[in-house]
A and B are shown apart, each in its own frame.
Chain A
Amino acid sequence: MRNNRLILVAIVFIGLLNFPILRFFDTPNDFLGIPVIYLYFLAVWLGAIISTGIILNRNSK
């Protein structure tokens, strides 16, 4: 169960960080001086880190 969830996170992680979804964020625009693509990477990355942490450390087996 736990492993299935982690595999799902991994698949979503790969999906979000590659073509074609990545293309929507791969622009030269910036937000408050920070490139959008960089913010996008950080957001997905942090999302994956948090989900992994939660899945592995919840008490349920």
Chain B
Amino acid sequence: MGVWEIAFLSIAYLGILFSLAFWAEKKKAQNKSLINNPLIYALSLAIYCSAWTFYGSVGQITSSGLSFLSVYLGPTLIMILAWGIVRKIIRIAKIHNITNIADFISTRYGKDSRIGLGVTLISLFAGIPYIGLQIKAIAQSFDLITQATPSSTFYLDPSFVLFIALTVFILVLGPKKFDSSEKHEGMIFTIAMESIIKLIAFIAVGIYISIQLYKGWQADPQLANIQLPSIETNGGYGNWFIQFILCGVAFLFLPRVFHVAVVEINDEENLKQASWIFPLYMLLINLFVIPLGIAGYAILHRGGMDPDLYVLGLPLHFNSNVLAFIVYIGGFSAATGMVIMETMAISSMISNNLIMPLLLQRKGFISENQTNLGRINQNIRRIMIIFIMILGYIHYRETEQLVNLVSVGMTSFVIVAQFAPATLLGIYWKKASRQGALAGIFVGFIISAALLFLPSLGISTDTFRIEGLNPISNAAYWSISFNLLFLYGVSIMSEQSGKEANQSYLFVDVFEYSQNVENSTIWRGKARLRDLKLALHGFIGKINTEQKIKQIAMANNISLQDVYADPILVTQTEKILAGFVGSTSARLIISSISKEEQIGMSEVIRLLQKSKDLQESNAALVKIDAQKNDFLTTVTHEIRSPITSIRSLSEIMVDHEDISNEERKAFLETIIQESDRLSRLVNQVLDLEKLAAGKANFNMRPIDLAEVIEKAMLNFTAIAKQNFVQISIDLAKKRTNRQIEGDFEKLVQVIINLLSNAIKNVEPEKGLIQVRLFENATHLFLAVEDNGIGIDPKFHDQIFEKFKQVDNPNRKIESSGLGLSISKKIIEMHHGTIHLESSLGHGAKFIIKLPIHKTA
């Protein structure tokens, strides 16, 4: 196919993608988001599968068998755990308006600009070769399909035209001015579409070649004898294991994957489906790697073709031009998707963590450009995109013949994996400190870079080579171990600053604090409202600024009348700015317009605790309210029954004048009883409320518990006789000198309550109630034990609650259900406790424990 024909079709394809993006943006403007669904989210994650997957897997299988599968099995492992790990990262990023991995790590460690800068430079270092690799894949596939020889002058090379077109595409869809959330609806939609196209293209060529292979197989059985090297003979299980883990860890920290997975997600719930759809996607795109590898090796190996080009070489070999073009477009999609997202992510890192902080720290820069900052930020990003693209292109031109797809990719993986310890420990371990993170990332990066690159400069690193490990696994092993060691070691030896500690709490306990964090104002200081508004103008425009400020003020009940802004407003403004320029720069802008006070660690925790406490006490209030309602229902019920009987008996007496005097007397006695019951009930309710409100008068004095028991018995013996119940009193230590401090009458009431409770639970004539008094060095104990039916242990907790009566078929005496509740309150006022020992069928034993009066 002709050179300019393919170049034109490629650019036309970019044009179609552009219209799709435009359409998605338009839908979004109508509030019909195309990307807020799990399928599109999962497909956008497939940005992970770059040209490396599309061309490189087949290239690798011919040389080293199935070991390339670790590149997909590792991320599958992360996706299995995504609902735990990735959701936490997403939630944190959303709360802090974090838009890239450098911001994430620097925000966690007290918004430290050095960490942000380090992560940025390392990402750039790892990203450039990776981008160069994609440009190489585009150029090589272009040359193969057009049969052109690449021109040595770069501007005459047709692939250069594609490179320019791609750069323009990214610039147009990329950095936007008025969008704080850094959401790129159109871009994500095109990425998802590209994922579909690369999958279809790969499966199509896979099926086609499998059929060809099967035909050839029947003609030439020799083909079937090509065998894959086993994992054991090819690197061994040690390499396999390290790469498996490495790929999983690196997956999440690739700038492009972090961007689509964390920043562009619309709804956490999408993760639920994506956790299985994305691994399934990876499985499908690898389904035909083996037949393609075998066919490529059998057919194209002798011609000396680069194994990375087998996927495209095969349909060309079979003269299937249409299929070859589909494959070319599939590979083009894989490469462009990666380049688009990677340049976007890295450019925002550079702008947020390097260029903007440098500019903002220049004297007078902020005040001169206040309303212009948004535009400046956008332009910096554009320039950075061009810069990264050019670096990638240069890398491709300079190293064209040197490397294969997979080794460059794996090198990048080892480097970005250095972010994993600081991030993952950072979200689960509060002690992880800024200095620890700095040390870990620095040491890890130096070790990995040394082990990966020194050999190519002719310096041997064999001393550090572990037997059986290949250079990639070896570098991964050393660098990640030392990274972890330094992160852990330095963290436990260093002190966190207040700001750092604050962030560590917000990150680690994000699910606990995420409702409070909006308002957990850690910022303390003064900023003028006017200045805050000016700072926002530059990014979201004048009208939006006013709206936003009003919105925040309304939601938080803040007055906008003061000259100085409320701290909540300052925090929120900083958060909005962070969405545009990253946390480091946002902090710089805010501190330029305000005077900030340092706050200590203890204060941070206190503030967080306060908002948590508020939540808890609110929950407690709701519970109390429900209890009050229960209480009212029961009280009215309890009051109604005596009233009903009083009323009906009185009615009978009024209506029937002929009833006998005896009957009349019996009726009147019942009426008196019921009235007593009613007034007792009312008194009890009043008592209880007094006790609960702390208004009851306690006449505290040293008293002898034995006297209390005697007084209670005086009132109670008659009732016991009436019910044919025997009471035995065992005051073994009678007249001991030990006294307690308490209110005599109230304690008598407690004992009567317990005794009447016991009477209700025993059978007449067999009933035996024992009252015992005993002591230890510090406390006096009073036990009231019956031999009744007992109380099921599962009700023990409830029994002291108001109106809780455990169902008891033998109950003969009416009870309000308030007695135990009142008793418990009274005992508590005496600094004592009351508890129950009982099980069904074995009686019940209430034990009161009261402290001995000291001076006695």
Would you give the 0/1 interface string for A13-38, flagging 1 where the beta carbon is closer than 8 Å to chain B? 11001110011001110000111011
- 6 A-B pairs with the lowest CB-CB distances in the bound complex, closest first: A53-B276, A19-B237, A56-B272, A10-B80, A26-B230, A3-B84
- Residues of A with C-beta under 8 A to B283: 42, 45-46, 49
Of the residues B77, B228, B230, contact of A10 by C-beta under 8 Å: B77
CA distance A53 to B82 in the complex (A): 12
CA distance A17 to B245 in the complex (A): 11
Q: Considering the chains assembled together, what is the distance between the CA atoms of A17 and B67 in angstroms? A: 12
* Contact between chains at A6 and B81 (CB < 8 Å): yes
Is the beta-carbon distance between B279 and A52 smaller than 8 angstroms? yes
Contact of B280 among A6, A10, A22, A49 (CB under 8 A): A49
Given contacts A10-B81, A34-B290, A49-B283, contact A23 B232 (CB under 8 A): yes
User: Is B13 in the interface zone, CB < 8 Å from A?
Assistant: no
Interface residues of B (CB under 8 A from A): 66, 69, 73, 76-77, 79-81, 83-84, 217, 224, 227-228, 230-232, 237, 240-241, 244, 272-273, 275-276, 279-280, 283, 287, 290
Could you say which residues of chain B place their CB within 8 Å of the CB of A46? Answer: 283
Task: Please give the distance in Å from B229's CB to the nearest CB on chain A.
Answer: 9
Question: Are B231 and A26 in touch, CB under 8 angstroms?
Answer: yes
Residue from B79, B232, B240 in contact with A52 in the complex, judged by beta carbons closer than 8 Å:
B79
CA distance A54 to B769 in the complex (A): 59
Q: What's the Cα separation between A12 and B776 when bound, in Å?
A: 57
Query: Is A52 in contact with B275, judged by CB distance below 8 angstroms?
Result: yes
B83 contacts A6, CB within 8 Å?
yes
Q: Is A60 an interface residue (CB 8 A)?
A: no
B241 A52 Cβ-Cβ under 8 A: no
Contact surface of A with B, Cβ cutoff 8 Å: 2-3, 6-7, 9-10, 13-14, 17-19, 22-23, 26-28, 33-35, 37-38, 41-42, 45-46, 48-50, 52-53, 56-57
CA distance in complex: A42, B232 (Å): 18
In the complex where A6-B83, A22-B237, A37-B231 touch, is A17 in contact with B276 (Cβ < 8 A)? no
Contact for B83 among A13, A28, A50, A56, CB less than 8 A: A56
Q: From residue A45, how far is it (CB to closest CB) to chain B in Å?
A: 5
Docked complex Cα distance between A11 and B481 (Å):
21
Knowing A14-B77, A18-B244, A56-B272 touch, does A49 contact B279 (C-beta < 8 A)?
yes
Could you write out 21 A-B pairs with CB less than 8 Å apart? Answer: A6-B80, A7-B81, A14-B77, A14-B244, A17-B73, A18-B244, A19-B241, A28-B227, A28-B228, A37-B66, A37-B230, A38-B290, A41-B66, A41-B73, A45-B283, A48-B76, A52-B79, A52-B275, A52-B279, A53-B275, A56-B273
| Shortest distance between the CB of A35 and any CB in chain B (Å) | 6
Most buried by B among A3, A6, A9, A57: A6
A41-B66, A45-B283 in contact; A35/B290 too (CB < 8 A)?
yes
Contact B76 A49 (CB under 8 A): yes
What is the bound-complex CA distance between A53 and B38, given in angstroms?
Answer: 12
CA distance A45 to B72 in the complex (A): 10
User: How many Å lie between the Cα of A33 and that of B227 in the bound state?
Assistant: 10
Determine the chain B residues whose CB is within 8 A of the CB of A23 once the complex forms: 232, 237
Task: Give CA–CA (A16, B406) in the complex, Å.
Answer: 25
Residues on B with C-beta less than 8 A from A3 are: 83-84
Distance A14 CA – B245 CA, assembled complex (angstroms): 9
Complex Cα spacing A53 to B69, Å: 21
Residues of B within 8 A of A14 (CB): 77, 244
Assess whether A50 is in contact with B240, with CB atoms less than 8 Å apart.
no
